[in-house]
Amino acid sequence: MQALILAGGQGTRLRPLTLTSPKPALPLAGRPFLTFMLDWLARHGVDEAILSCGFLGEEVARVLGRSHRGVKLRYVNETEPLGTAGPLRLAADEGGLDDRLLVLNGDVLTDFDLSAQIEFHVLKGAAATLALVAVDDPSSYGLVPTAASGEVEAFLEKVADDPSAAAPPTNRVNAGAYVLERSVIERIPPGRPVSFEREIFPGLVGEGLFGHPFDGYWIDIGTPERYLEATQDLLTGSVESTLPPRDDSGSLVLPGCATEGAEVGPLSVLGEWCTIEPGARVARSVLHRGVTVGAGAVIEHAVLADGVTVGPRARLGPGAVVGSGARVAGGAQVPAGARIAPGTLFAAPTAPDGRRFPPVPSAEEGRA
C-alpha cells in the first residue's frame, strides 16, 4: 500500500523550532518526528511513502533518507505551497501512484487501527474515507457528522467562528488520515493550491464520502504545548511506539549526555551530547542535541533546540521555546511562554538578588 504524507507546511505555530528544522524532521523523543508515523504506517501494511515537501524540503530528505524500516521513501517537491490536496495532484501528475492510497497530515502522532479504516473503505465501496476522532471541545474544529451507514452528511465550519451557531451535532472531527480512490484525485484541479477540507471533501458529500470513527491515541503536534504533551505521552507509554527504555524518572537520556550532580526529570528528553551541570534542574522539558545547561539553572516545561546554551542560575518559565543555537545569559529569567529566536542572546539581568551574572556554584554546592 502507498501513503502520501503532507510534509510541506511552514509550521508557523511551532516557531522558532521550525525556523531551522521542518516539522516532519523535528526530534520528538529523540527521533525525527515522522519516523513515528512511518512505524505506524508500516504496522498497517504501507511499503512506500511519498513525502510531499516544500518548506525546507531538502532537510526532510536529508534526515529521513530513502527508506525507513522497510518503508521505501520517495519525495515530491513543490516550488510553491499547494495546500492539502494540490500536492496529491502534483504527485499523480509525476506518475507512479496506485489507484488506491492513503493520504496523511504529516504532523499527527497516533496509533489507531488504520487497517480497520482501509477494510471499512473497501466494504463500503467508498470514494474516500476519513478517519474521525472525538475531541473534548469540538468548537474549534471543522465537524464531520455522519449517518448510521458512515456516510458523511456535511462538513461544518468551526462553530467557534459563528456565535449564532447551534450546539455542535457531533464531537467527531477530521483526523487528517484518508483512504482515497483515484477518482478523487481526478477532481483536484492542477497547478494551484487546493484544500481537501474546503474544496474537495464538501463537494464529495453524497458521492461516496465516508467517515470512520476510531477510539485511540491521536494528537497533532503542531503547537509547542501539544509537542510537549505528545512527548510526555510517548514517555509514559500512552501511545504505542518503539522508544528505548526510560529511566526511573520516566525520562529519556540519549548517549553522550553528562548529567552528574544535576536533577533530570520527571518526563524529560535529553538529546545526544547534552551537558547539565551540577545543581541544575530539567523537568518535563525537551532538550534537543548538544544543549548545555549551566550550574543551578532551572528549566521547566520548556523546549530547547539544538546547541542552545543556558547560563548558570538562569530560569526558563513554563512554555518557553528556545531556537537553535540561542544563548540565555547566566541569571536571566525567561518569562513563561517566551519564544527566543535561533542564534540570539537573551540577557535580562534579573537575578533575584540583583547580581547580573551569579557565580557558578561549586560541585558540592550544586549537589546540596
Interacting residues toward ligand GTP by CB under 6 A: 6-13, 23, 52, 54, 78, 81-84, 87, 105-107, 222
Q: Which CB, 87 or 331, lies closer to ligand GTP?
A: 87
Cell representation of residue 212:
470512520
Strand pairing of 252-253 and 275-276?
A: unpaired
CB of 176 vs ligand GTP, minimal distance in Å: 7
Strand partners, 156: 143
At its nearest, how many Å lie between ligand GTP and the CB of residue 9? 2
Angle at 55 between CA 128 and CA 48, to 5 degrees: 45
Per-residue CA distances from 104 to 12, 179, 256, 363 (Å): 19, 9, 35, 50
The minimum distance between CB 221 and ligand GTP, in angstroms, equals 9
Query: Minimum distance between the CB of residue 77 and ligand GTP, rounded to whole angstroms?
Result: 9
User: How many Å is the maximal CA-CA distance in the chain?
Assistant: 72
Compute CA 214 distance to the chain's CA centroid, rounded to the nearest angstrom: 20
Name the minimum Å distance from CB 106 to ligand GTP.
3
Q: Which is nearer to ligand GTP, 80 or 136 (CB)?
A: 80
In the complex with ligand GTP, which residue's Cβ is closer, 177 or 328? 177
DSSP alpha helices (H): ranges in the chain? 17-20, 33-43, 57-64, 86-94, 114-124, 182-185, 201-204, 224-236, 363-367
Q: Given the complex with ligand GTP, which of 96 and 206 has the nearer CB atom?
A: 96
Q: In 97-200, at which residue ranges do the beta strands (DSSP E only) sit?
A: 100-105, 108-110, 128-134, 172-181
DSSP per position, 69-80: TTEEEEEEE-SS
Length of the chain: 368
CA 363 to chain centre: 38
Q: Which is nearer to ligand GTP, 83 or 168 (CB)?
A: 83
- Give the amino acid at 89: R
What is the three-class DSSP state of 28? strand
> Of 11 and 331, which has the nearer Cβ to ligand GTP?
11
Q: Is the dihedral of CA 282, 222, 273, 236 positive or negative?
A: positive
Q: Minimum Å distance from CB 8 to ligand GTP? A: 3
Q: Least CB distance from residue 252 to ligand GTP, whole Å?
A: 24
Q: Which is nearer to ligand GTP, 53 or 298 (CB)?
A: 53
Least distance from ligand GTP to the Cβ atom of residue 18, Å: 8
- Rounded distance, CA 71 to CA 50, Å? 10
The CA distance from 299 to 50, in Å, is 38
CB of 34 to ligand GTP, least distance (A): 9
Of 267, 197, 234, 5, nearest to 109 by C-alpha is 234
The identity of residue 230, as a single letter, is A
Nearer to ligand GTP, 108 or 209 (CB): 108
Question: Quick one: 7 or 144, whose CB is closer to ligand GTP?
Answer: 7
